[in-house]
Amino acid sequence: MTAEPNQMESVLLENRHFEPPSEFAKNALIGDSDQYRKLYERSIKEPEAFWAEAAEELHWFKKWDSVLDESEAPVYKWFSGARTNLCYNCVDRHLEGPDRNKAAIIWEGEPGDSRVLTYQDLHREVCKFANGLKEIGIKKGDRVALYLPMIPELVLAVLACARIGAVHTVIFAGFSADSIRDRVNDCAAKCVITSDGGWRRGKVLGLKNIVDEAVEGVASVTDVVIVKRGQGDPLPCHLKEGRDRWYHDLVQDQSVDCPCEEMEAEDLLFLLYTSGTTGKPKGIVHTTAGYMLFTYLTTKYIFDYKPEDVYWCTADVGWITGHSYIVYGPMANAATQIIYEGAPNYPNNGRFWEIVEKYRVSIFYTAPTAIRAFMKWGDEWLEAHDLSSLRLLGTVGEPINPEAWIWYHKVVGGERCPIVDTWWQTETGGHMLTPVPGATATKPGCATLPFLGIEPAVLSEEGEEVDAGILAIKKPWPGMLRGIYGDNQRFKDTYWCKWGGKYYFPGDGARIDQDGYYWILGRVDDVVNVSGHRIGTAELESVFVEHPDVAESAVVGVPHEIKGQGLFAFVTVIEGRDYDEKLRAELVTMIDKGIGKFARPEHILFSSDLPKTRSGKIMRRLLRDIAEGKELGNTTTLADPDVVRHLRKQFEENTK
Ligand code: WT7
């Protein structure tokens, strides 16, 4: 297991617990543990009735014939026979009543510019965008790649695709041209929507130039639409004749009416690429009805959503958190939310707290890596602002260390806000293990109990229930992935490879305590969680070995004070070649180009060999021990024990 032992020790020692604050529980949608338990029991005993009842809260062009169809498991089908549309439920549904003039998006750009879009505004802008996409020939089922900064047009583009049944694939704007090309090629995207640039730490970073490099010679891409980010003149963009056009030109004369495509329940909604244990990212497939219901219901109960809330999720729409808990879940609930474009420390370390105070944010959802950065920057940045509007805090992305949890609770939450530590994944679509804020007593660092309808277990490889082992999900749930795009075999091999294919295997280790609470212990595969972003070590390794001087490489995750985990790369150089600063710089440039700057390793250690078993398998466990400067574990299966001694020496010399 790759769970870091120090993290495991700290969670094992952790026995503080916090009851839901009574002020909060009094008005909560689920206000005590009995109510949660009753709802949970029903959801497990009669899942179809439970989900069908919840689905009644949403709009359907046609109701379902069956709730769950298991005939093609593990590709489970939900709400077969039904027809609906996510954009309709996130926008049009709110136009009939008072929510029509409610702010949907309160957007703030990094330089301080701002925009507010009501649900009525959203409807108009989304319809125009959707008609524009139709004009350039985008139809139901076509793939559209989005490579945009955190500006309202990103949300508009997502909703416009959903409206006409085009399949969006959002590519986080930190990915490199090579990464964009891989994704665009994998799904044969027809259109890329990007912008001239976006603000980050006081500078405009160009995006269109990266897209140009990415789609050069890619035959499937017939159209590129460019949003001008605003603030004066656009960055210079080369507009390729017949392929590229400005968004403002495209939408200018479009009609403000665009009927929603009536989507079948299992029609594709989006693809989102994520890292796995091989070098090739997986296009995770999410479909329409089940995903809609799951993000709607988890948002409602886990954020205890009330119409007067001001909700702020600090994630980027480029990750699943932004899909489920910026776009679809909150908007299906008619939420008012903050979207902020830039860095948390621009122009100073207090930017987030200034935003919380300015807009009276009541629900705040962020990642442990951000919390640790705030902690390090010092309490004075928070003390300078009135944070009394906050009533609920959330975290997601990786296990949160109890120290950071306690700090979040005290300094951000003023000891009055429940914290929801939500465990879930790109693949699960929404929250799986999480406190229900008015009902579940929390423990620092613990994702606590399952969401309604979710049946987890901690199992051994053999499938026996154990106290510490591998997390499994025993029942299908509406938000679950339906596949890996174009690779059904990999879908089965990755997620249904254990326990005879009966249960979903998420790839995390877990522990269950005496109260039946689930503690996530980290990944059990070669996936590293850097700042809450999933990075497959094999992706970096395959970039390194493209260098003509590199023979082999192994990348492991090591604990990192702020990022949770950092990347430590071992690189062996072909005999006789030099390894020096020049090579190091070249390798870093290759990662920037091959994946993106956010995947840069913390350390690159050159060596003449890597520790291997007699059958030639790299022993990553020993590499992790070396990278952490720890006692080496069992070395008896090594083909050549000298290799680790040598590596250890090099590590000591290089990290002094
Ligand atoms: C992996 C999924 C879900 C959106 C962000 C990441 C880890 C996520 C928690 C949490 C402990 C967590 C798991 C999971 N993870 N949330 N609250 N406690 N670990 O999505 O990129 O699909 O990564 O993130 O290891 O498998 P993702």
Alpha carbon distance 28, 269 (integer Å): 32
Three-state SS string over 16-29 comes to CCECCCHHHHHCCC
Instruction: State the SS3 of 571-598.
Output: EEECCCCCCCHHHHHHHHHHHHHHCCHH
**pLDDT per position as a tens digit, 452-479:** 999 999 999 999 999 999 999 999 999 9
* The CA-based dihedral angle spanning residues 135, 140, 146, 151, taken in that order and rounded to the nearest 10 degrees: 70
Instruction: At 355, list the tokens.
Output: 């935003």
As a whole-number percent, the residues of the chain with pLDDT over 90 amount to 89
pLDDT tier at 654 (50, 70, 90 boundaries)? confident
Distance 213 CA to ligand 1 centre (A): 31
The count of other CB atoms within 10 Å of the CB of residue 236 is 10
pLDDT tens digit sequence for 279-334: 889 999 999 999 999 999 999 999 999 999 999 999 999 999 999 999 999 999 99
DSSP-assigned letter for residue 299: H
Q: Whose CA is nearest to atom 6 of ligand 1?
A: 397
Q: What is the pLDDT of residue 316?
A: 97
Give distance in angstroms: CA of 121 to centre of ligand 1: 34
**421, containing H or E segment:** strand 419-422
Residue whose CA is at the smallest distance from ligand 1 atom 19: 398
pLDDT of residue 4: 44
Residue 5, pLDDT > 50, answer: no
Beta-bridge partners for 364: 312, 393
Give the confidence band of 13 by pLDDT, cuts at 50, 70, 90: low
Taking the C-alpha atoms of residue 541 and residue 5, their distance in angstroms, rounded to an integer, is 25
Pocket of ligand 1 (CB under 6 A): 274, 320-321, 396-399, 421-426, 447, 506-508, 520, 523, 529, 532, 534
Res 422: pLDDT: 98
pLDDT at 656 over 90: no
Q: How far apart are CA 94 and CA 419, in angstroms?
A: 29
Mutate to test the pocket of ligand 1, among 398, 519, 523 (most ligand atoms within 8 A of CB): 398
Contact assessment for residue 161 and residue 192, using Cβ atoms and an 8 Å cutoff: no
**326, 396, 448: residue to mutate for ligand 1 pocket, most atoms within 8 A of CB:** 396
- Measuring CA to CA, which residue among 176, 185, 129, 183 is closest to residue 152? 129
- Nearest protein CA to atom 11 of ligand 1, as residue: 399
pLDDT tens for each residue of 489-527: 999 999 999 999 999 999 999 999 999 999 999 999 999
Question: Which amino acid, 465?
Answer: E
**Token output for 174:** 């930190």
Q: Which ligand 1 atom is at minimum distance from the Cα of 533? A: 21
103-108 and 268-274 as β-strands: parallel, antiparallel, unpaired? unpaired
Contact 164, 130 (CB under 8 A): yes
Measured in Å, residue 175 CA sits from the centre of ligand 1 at 19
Instruction: Give me the pLDDT at residue 633, please.
Output: 83
Which of helix, strand or coil describes residue 317? coil
Q: What is the pLDDT of residues 265-281, one digit of tens each?
A: 999 999 999 998 888 89
- Report the alpha-carbon distance of residue 9 to residue 3 in Å, rounded: 10
